[in-house]
């Protein structure tokens, strides 16, 4: 037996077309269910959001910022429809003797089946109902009863004489239809004497169409499952085993046949089934390399019994023999990498089937770059491709070459419908957290059912055990997927009750904010894993931030206190939080950085600090150095392993849309002082940018993942620090490479440079100095006096070399320069210095004599003199030297004058 490997087949039978004519012209026209849905609901433009996602829009912002998908009304309402007396009083439906109110009519009709076929259990039949006003008076008409579903749009406040109106309705074939072998559509219509449901109404007799044929099943696949042990790993060509059970629910014998085009093979115990009988099938499938890369195989079995066929699909995890993740140090940005900004690569884009949104990015222990995001189904989804509640998926793509190429889309968390087939289950808003001490990767995301963060009235229900009921369909859950093999396979669990505890009584919903969390690299709470969240207070208008954390490598998760709504806010103002991120500063303090749609920081960002690892927050302020249109952003350390207190440890990178109103002008900003100021900013994209997130990659470049169409698509670019700022203030560099002195004059010539880290020991050498000069490494000055006796300027090429001890990054801290020293002749009348022999290569190496500091972060050296304001390059003499030259010149001219006077005396 060969079973075809295929997807779930779509219904191939045409729906019945019916036309039922009455005096007001009512008609049934069955259509394909998909066409019916399309007619009922207008689809949003590809680059617009399908629904207003609360966690993705500025809270309390005008609803036009993220346009919601709208259903196309059957007819614009000219005026509000008033409730008619007939609706309030059933007796009003009786025909009136008053001729002015007479709306009686006769009925006739016919049915045309456009394409013969039959419907199966669970399939949805779509119908179009047509209504024509054949009277000479405008009427109001509406369907008031039906055995169809979704007929609420079948009402028209004003139908002109001769005008035809249409609407759509549907029916899903159920067990009753199967038992009967058919389904007969029926509607009941009220016709009103006057428009907008005024005057007397008449309820017409139920209008029925011809019976639609429903197939009686003769075979059902009641089981299709993997027979291999859970956790089995595979290589290409290995055999995956499956078990299937078939059942004949009909009253007669039936022969079973199976599609023959698939890679699945096997045999069934009985090829013929009697009424009510079962049979089992042993199946196998040869695993492919593609299956292993995807992490799963989608296997479909189709069997036929007589004229009826049944199809069942199973998603089978296919675990490859991947290497486990290992502990690794966070990667640091490399300031020595050549300047580079790569072109935009669109990793995924929306289709007619789904939307794409919400980027997250990280680097795994093996150096792979992982990009995850939302795939939001349109058809079959509960929110038409929008945010929760919708049957959303968390998907992922992988790059093994630092973002140059990307592998296929894989699934972290798959949305769908619950066991009842009706309750949606969805996963949205991914965020990565990496444990560098183990290599484990966590992907936080929303797990929703019937509600969004404000949609459909979410709430946290507490059980008798005092814990949040995570199975309540109105609960917005924290879900976390865990991977111990660099993102190749994932296990999921809900952690809402653990995270919120009693705090759930204060809020109606929470969600983990998308992008990336972090891990503390210094005390206090070194090694703590951190993921930020936003929570709506009860009432849905105030939003606070919350830190989720783990101190046991993700075994358990907890949360700190909510941020304050008023602490430190400008007088009369308040804070309105939303998606927020956290970063560790150079001294172990945490910095919170939050999007804000309104309140005291609107147009900028809210920042606050925590000295206890995110348990509490203080020092709230508006970061006026950052312009932001209330958009999700990302803040990270450029050098996460830099020793606390060093120059590099204070460098932060911030990605956002630098525009007070629009989500455009994607910009990277840089801070040298733990986010106090942002002196460097460079735009990487002028057009739409949307949400942004970043990661430091294994090659020292920075990857950025964002939404290049604002509300859709996920795109990747890569840049280096030298693209952002060619001359980083943290990196050692000489700012002047030439100087000039006068022969025979005492000099003090300072070598000007940047990036000399006061917290680090250094070694400086100067070679090629002329006789009489020496170099003082402590003060970075050339001192002494030459005695060359030169009559012309003499040039000495020097080599200056600077190096510092490692600052924890492993990236060399060194600078080397060819320095030109010019010795000018002495123009004074004093005794000309006797030329002295200059030995080639005369110079010295002078290690900095900085003693060690007593520090709990290791030996850092004594703080060096401040070199931030060096003497101007080429300063060849001090004040005393200049005065000496002037005195000699004046003395010379005085002697000349005396000689002249003696001649004429």
725 is annotated as an active-site residue: no
The answer to whether the 218-320 and 733-885 domains have the same CATH topology is yes
Residues contacting 218, CB < 8 A, separation 6+? 248, 249, 250, 252, 254, 305, 306, 307, 308
- CA gap 534, 540 in Å, rounded: 12
- The secondary structure of 817-867 as a DSSP string is EEEEEEEEPP--SSPPPPP-PPPTT--EEEE--PPPP--TT----PPPPP-
CATH of 352-724, one of 3.40.720.10, 2.60.40.3620, 2.40.50.140, 2.120.10.10: 2.120.10.10
Q: Across-strand partners of 492? A: 481
CATH topology of domain 218-320: Immunoglobulin-like (2.60.40)
Domain boundaries, the chain: 18-213, 218-320, 352-724, 733-885
Q: What letter would DSSP give residue 93? A: G
The dihedral region occupied by 288, where left means phi > 0, alpha psi between -120 and 50, and beta the remainder, is beta
691 is annotated as an active-site residue: yes
By the 8 A CB rule, do 575 and 600 touch? yes
Catalytic site residue from 672, 691, 706, 819:
691
By the 8 A CB rule, do 368 and 345 touch? no
Query: E strands of 42-163, at which residues?
Result: 110-111, 124-132, 139-146, 155-159
648-675 in b/e burial notation, b at 16+ Cβ within 10 A? Answer: bbbbbbbbbbbbeeebbbbbbbbbbebb
Catalytic site residue from 123, 435, 579, 731:
579
Residue 261 is predicted with a pLDDT of: 65
Token readout for 534 is: 């936003």
By the 8 A CB rule, do 383 and 51 touch? yes
Edge-to-edge strand ranges of the sheet holding 738-742: 738-742, 814-824, 794-804, 762-767, 844-847
Catalytic site residue from 123, 374, 387, 674:
387
Of the candidates 472, 479, 476, the residue with the CA atom closest to the CA atom of residue 508: 476
Give per-10-residue mean pLDDT for the chain (905 aa).
Answer: 31 31 41 38 38 36 36 36 37 40 46 56 84 88 91 92 88 90 90 94 86 88 91 92 93 86 82 93 93 94 86 92 98 98 99 98 99 95 90 98 98 91 92 99 98 95 98 98 98 99 98 99 98 95 97 99 97 94 99 97 98 99 98 99 98 98 98 99 98 99 98 97 98 96 96 96 97 95 96 97 98 97 83 46 40 36 40 41 49 50 44
Reported as type and span, the H/E element at residue 499 is: helix 496-500
- Map residue 888 onto helix, strand or coil: helix
End-to-end CA distance of the chain: 137
Of the candidates 309, 291, 269, 313, the residue with the CA atom closest to the CA atom of residue 1: 269
CATH of 733-885, one of 2.60.120.620, 1.10.10.10, 3.40.50.300, 2.60.40.10: 2.60.40.10
Radius of gyration of the chain (CA): 39
Q: What are the Cα distances from residue 12, in Å, to 32, 37, 123, 508, 584? A: 10, 17, 11, 45, 58
Q: What letter would DSSP give residue 545? A: E
Q: For the purposes of burial, counting CB atoms within 10 Å of the CB of 613, is it exposed (0-12), middle (13-18) or buried (19 or more)? A: buried
- CA gap 48, 44 in Å, rounded: 6
Residue 102 is predicted with a pLDDT of: 57
Total residues found in the chain within this entry? 905
- CA gap 232, 229 in Å, rounded: 6
- CA gap 283, 249 in Å, rounded: 22
Q: What letter would DSSP give residue 643? A: P
Q: Across-strand partners of 395? A: 373, 411
Other CB atoms within 10 Å distance of the CB of residue 418 = 12
47 is annotated as an active-site residue: no
């Amino acid at each position: 037996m060969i079973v075809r490997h295929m997807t779930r087949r779509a219904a191939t039978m045409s729906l019945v077309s019916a036309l039922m004519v009455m005096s007001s012209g009512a008609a049934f026209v069955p259509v394909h269910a998909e066409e019916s849905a399309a007619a009922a609901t207008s689809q949003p433009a590809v680059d617009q959001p399908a629904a207003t996602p609360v966690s993705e829009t500025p809270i309390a912002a005008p609803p036009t910022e993220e346009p919601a998908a709208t259903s196309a009304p059957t007819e614009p309402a000219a005026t509000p429809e008033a409730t008619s007396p007939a609706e309030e009083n059933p007796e009003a439906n009786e025909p009136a003797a008053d001729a002015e109110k007479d709306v009686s009519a006769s009925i006739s009709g016919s049915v045309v089946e456009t394409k013969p076929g039959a419907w199966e259990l669970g399939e949805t039949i779509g119908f179009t109902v047509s209504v024509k006003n054949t009277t000479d008076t405008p009427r109001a008409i509406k369907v008031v009863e039906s055995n169809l579903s979704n007929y609420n749009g079948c009402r028209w406040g004003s139908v002109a004489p001769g005008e035809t109106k249409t609407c759509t309705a549907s029916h899903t074939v159920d067990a009753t239809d199967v038992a009967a072998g058919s389904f007969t559509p029926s509607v009941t219509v009220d016709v009103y004497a006057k428009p907008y449901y005024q005057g007397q109404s008449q309820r017409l007799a139920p209008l029925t169409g011809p019976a639609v044929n429903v197939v009686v099943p003769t075979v059902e696949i009641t089981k299709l499952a993997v027979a291999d042990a859970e956790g089995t790993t595979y290589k290409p060509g290995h055999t995956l085993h499956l078990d299937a059970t078939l059942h004949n629910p009909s009253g007669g014998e039936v022969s079973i046949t199976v599609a023959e085009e698939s890679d699945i093979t096997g045999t069934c115990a009985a090829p013929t089934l009697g009424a009510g009988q079962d049979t089992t099938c042993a199946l196998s499938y040869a695993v492919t390399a593609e299956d292993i890369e995807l992490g799963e195989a989608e296997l479909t079995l189709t069997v036929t019994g007589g004229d009826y066929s049944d199809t069942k699909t199973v998603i089978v995890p296919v675990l490859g023999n991947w290497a486990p993740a290992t502990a690794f140090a966070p990667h640091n940005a490399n300031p020595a990498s050549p300047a580079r900004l790569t072109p935009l690569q669109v990793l995924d884009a929306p289709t007619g089937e789904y939307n794409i949104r919400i980027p997250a990015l990280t680097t795994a222990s093996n150096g792979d770059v992982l990009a995850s995001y939302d795939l939001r189904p349109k058809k079959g989804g509960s929110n038409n491709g929008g945010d929760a509640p919708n049957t959303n998926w968390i998907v992922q793509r992988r790059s093994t070459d630092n973002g140059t190429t990307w592998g296929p889309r894989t699934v972290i968390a798959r949305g769908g419908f619950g066991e009842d087939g009706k309750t949606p289950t969805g996963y949205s808003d991914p965020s990565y957290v990496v444990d560098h001490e183990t290599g484990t990767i966590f992907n936080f995301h929303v797990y929703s059912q019937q509600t969004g963060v404000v949609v459909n009235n979410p709430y946290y229900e507490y059980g008798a055990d005092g814990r949040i009921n995570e199975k309540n369909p109105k609960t917005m859950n924290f879900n976390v997927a865990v991977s111990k093999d660099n993102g190749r396979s994932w296990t999921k669990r809900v952690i809402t009750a653990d995270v919120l505890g009693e705090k759930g009584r204060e809020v109606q919903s929470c969600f983990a904010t998308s992008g990336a969390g972090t891990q503390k690299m210094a005390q206090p709470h070194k090694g703590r894993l951190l993921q930020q969240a936003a929570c709506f207070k009860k009432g849905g208008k105030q939003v606070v931030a919350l830190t989720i954390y783990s101190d046991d490598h993700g075994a358990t998760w907890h949360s700190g206190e909510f941020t304050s709504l008023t602490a430190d806010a400008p007088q009369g103002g308040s804070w309105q939080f939303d998606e927020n991120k956290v970063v560790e500063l150079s001294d172990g303090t945490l910095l919170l950085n939050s999007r804000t749609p309104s309140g005291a920081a609107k147009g900028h960002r809210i920042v606050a600090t925590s000295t206890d690892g995110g348990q509490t927050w203080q020092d709230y302020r508006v970061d006026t150095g950052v312009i932001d249109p209330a958009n999700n952003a990302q803040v990270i350390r450029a050098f996460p392993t830099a020793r606390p207190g060093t120059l590099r440890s204070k460098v932060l990178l911030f990605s956002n849309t630098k525009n007070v109103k629009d989500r455009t002008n994607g910009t990277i900003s840089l801070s040298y002082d733990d986010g106090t100021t942002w002196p460097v900013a460079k735009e990487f994209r002028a057009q739409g940018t949307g949400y942004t997130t970043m990661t430091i990659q294994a090659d020292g470049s920075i990857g950025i993942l964002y939404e290049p169409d604002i509300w859709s698509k996920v795109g990747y670019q890569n840049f280096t620090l030298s693209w952002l700022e060619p001359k980083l203030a943290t990196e050692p560099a000489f700012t002047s490479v030439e100087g000039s002195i006068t022969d025979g004059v005492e000099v003090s010539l300072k070598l000007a440079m940047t990036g000399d880290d006061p917290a680090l020991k250094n070694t400086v050498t100067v070679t090629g100095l002329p006789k009489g000069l020496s170099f003082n490494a402590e003060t970075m000055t050339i001192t002494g006096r030459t005695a060359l006796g030169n009559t012309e300027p003499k040039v000495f090429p020097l080599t200056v070399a600077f190096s510092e001890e490692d600052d924890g990054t492993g990236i060399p801290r060194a600078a080397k320069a060819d320095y030109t020293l010019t010795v000018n002749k002495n123009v004074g009348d004093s005794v000309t210095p006797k030329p002295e022999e200059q030995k080639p290569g005369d110079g010295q190496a002078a290690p900095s004599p900085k003693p060690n500091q007593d520090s709990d972060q290791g030996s850092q050296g004594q703080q060096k003199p401040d070199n931030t304001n060096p003497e101007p390059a080429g300063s060849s003499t001090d004040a005393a030297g200049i005065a000496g030259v002037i005195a000699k010149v004046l003395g010379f001219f005085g002697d000349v004058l005396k000689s002249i006077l003696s001649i004429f005396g």
